[in-house]
Amino acid sequence: MAESHHAFSRSDMLPPQPPPASEVGVIGWLRANLFSSIGNSILTVLALIAIWWVLSHIWPWFAHAIWNAESYRQCREIVAETWGPEAGGACLAVIRERWKQFLFGFYPSDLYWRPTLAFILMFVALAPILFSQLPRKMLWFSLIYPGLAYWLLWGGSIFVPIVIYAGFAAAYYGFVLGARASASFVAPLLAAVFALVWWFVISGPLINILPNIGIQSVQSKQFGGFMLSVTIGVTGIAFSLPLGVLLALGRRSDLLFVKAICVGFIEFIRGVPLIALLLVASFLLNIFLPPGTNFDIILRVIIMVTLFSAAYMAEVIRGGLAALPRGQYEAADALGLDYWQGTRLIVMPQALKISIPGIVNTFIGLFKDTTLVSIIGLLDPIGLITSIRANAAWNGMVWELYGFVAVLFFVCCFGMSKYSQYLERKLRTDRR
């Protein structure tokens, strides 16, 4: 029996063998993701059939695309002469002719360099915020950029954005003074009072006495196209996040007055459609302003879009705060941190990490909602489509125009979605 035992025992280890070819590479991926079971295999085959059917009908439309034509009728004639009377094809000549208008609206053509430069600098300003590996000194440019972008787009005196920034300095000074008080609500209240007094009382007369040094002014009615959507969307995103954080903290506050104001604001904004707020900003707001007041229409839209998005952002962030264990708040107290220090250093970073999917979803929704400004007469890409189709040369076009706008928005929204996934992977703390 001993000899039989040794006959089936090895005295040395087998060398490592490569994995089966069916488990690695393209074949392995297909088996794991598309053909892992009979049901998945059937669904994969049905999906491939559906994709083939869609592409077989759409591809000829792109393959027969016409880029050089002076009208929609001429496009149809060229397609019929080249591929037959029953053939169909995209008339992309309208995109070739009007792409500058889609991007810049009615902005003066000799000043295209200004919105182009502002768009490029936007990525430079966002880089240190989105990617922590970059030098922190670049954040100074991120703070300067909003005023610089405003000056590049609208032009005028260079002192206008400087005076606006001085209002934030006044708010910071008020916050520092209020922080010395025992009550936690004094600091933000005093900061708001200092900023409002500076912007609405001091800044106007101050700008009038400063020298007019700047660049050519551009009226808001000349804005349009994708530039208008980016201006409203990026500004709304940049300001709705901090405002949403403050509203979320205010809604969870123990101070009855602060909590009541925040709850009332959030519930009112969430109960009213955005289009109603835009109509108020466009037609009704001037009724309540002093006679002769010139309140820029784009500024009014930005304010309404920001307030609308901030209300939804507040609820997203409140969910992150509610999901945070109570021990984190107690840890901040145990370390001897006051309310604002504990919120900034311990509570809010964790709550924002939890809320990343909801925050990005709100950002994407806000950016897409910028197309609603066409209802109040602003010529965003959707508004420009109506204007272009009113031209007799391009009357009757639908798919080419709306498809081009859809591609522009898809690229931006998909980029935001992919960045949020990257940020979630980077901030994961449960990885082994």
Q: What is the pLDDT of residue 82?
A: 85
Terminal CA-CA length for the chain: 47
Q: How far is 201 from 197, CA to CA, in rounded Å?
A: 5
Strand, helix or coil for residue 214: strand
Q: How confident is the model at residue 429 (pLDDT cuts 50, 70, 90)?
A: low
Lowest average pLDDT, out of 21-25, 123-127, 342-346, goes to 21-25
Q: Which CATH architecture does the domain made up of 218-427 adopt?
A: Orthogonal Bundle (1.10)
Q: What is the pLDDT of residue 324?
A: 83
What single string gives the DSSP state of each residue in 116-160? HHHHHHHHHHHHHHH-TTS-GGGHHHHHHHHHHHHHHHH-EETHH
Q: For 336, left (φ over 0), alpha (ψ -120 to 50), or beta? A: left
DSSP 324: S
Is the predicted pLDDT of residue 3 greater than 60, yes or no? Answer: no
Is the predicted pLDDT of residue 330 greater than 90, yes or no? Answer: no
Q: What is the pLDDT of residue 432?
A: 47
Q: How far is 413 from 362, CA to CA, in rounded Å?
A: 11
Is the predicted pLDDT of residue 287 greater than 80, yes or no? Answer: no
Annotate 67-83 with b (16+ C-beta within 10 A) or e (fewer): eebebbeebbebbeeee
- Which backbone phi and psi does 178 adopt, to 5 degrees? -70, -30
Amino acid identity, position 294: N
Q: How far is 279 from 428, CA to CA, in rounded Å?
A: 42
Q: What is the pLDDT of residue 1?
A: 47
**pTM for the whole thing?**
0.82
What single string gives the DSSP state of each residue in 64-78? T-B-S-SSHHHHHHH
Q: What is the pLDDT of residue 84?
A: 82
Q: Tell me where in the chain the CATH 1.10.3720.10 domain(s) lie.
A: 218-427
Whole-number average pLDDT of the chain: 85
Both tokens assigned to 59: 């591809």
Q: Quickly count: other Cβ atoms within 10 Å of residue 170's Cβ.
A: 20
Amino acid identity, position 205: P
Comparison of pLDDT for 431 and 204, the residue scoring more = 204
Q: How far is 356 from 128, CA to CA, in rounded Å?
A: 18
Section 288-300 average pLDDT: 73
Q: How far is CA 425 from CA 130, 345, 413, in A?
A: 14, 21, 19
Q: 157 - beta bridge partners?
A: 214
Q: What is the pLDDT of residue 5?
A: 52
Predicted confidence (pLDDT) per residue in 363-407, tens digit = 999 999 998 888 888 888 988 888 888 888 888 888 889 999 999
Report the half-sphere exposure of 418 (CA within 13 A, side-chain side). Answer: 6
Q: 215 - beta bridge partners?
A: 156
Lowest average pLDDT, out of 126-140, 172-186, 213-227, goes to 172-186
Section 262-279 average pLDDT: 90
**Nearest residue to 384 via CA among 222, 142, 217:** 222
Q: How far is 105 from 218, CA to CA, in rounded Å?
A: 12
Lowest average pLDDT, out of 42-46, 181-185, 187-191, 258-262, goes to 181-185
Predicted confidence (pLDDT) per residue in 97-108, tens digit = 889 989 998 999
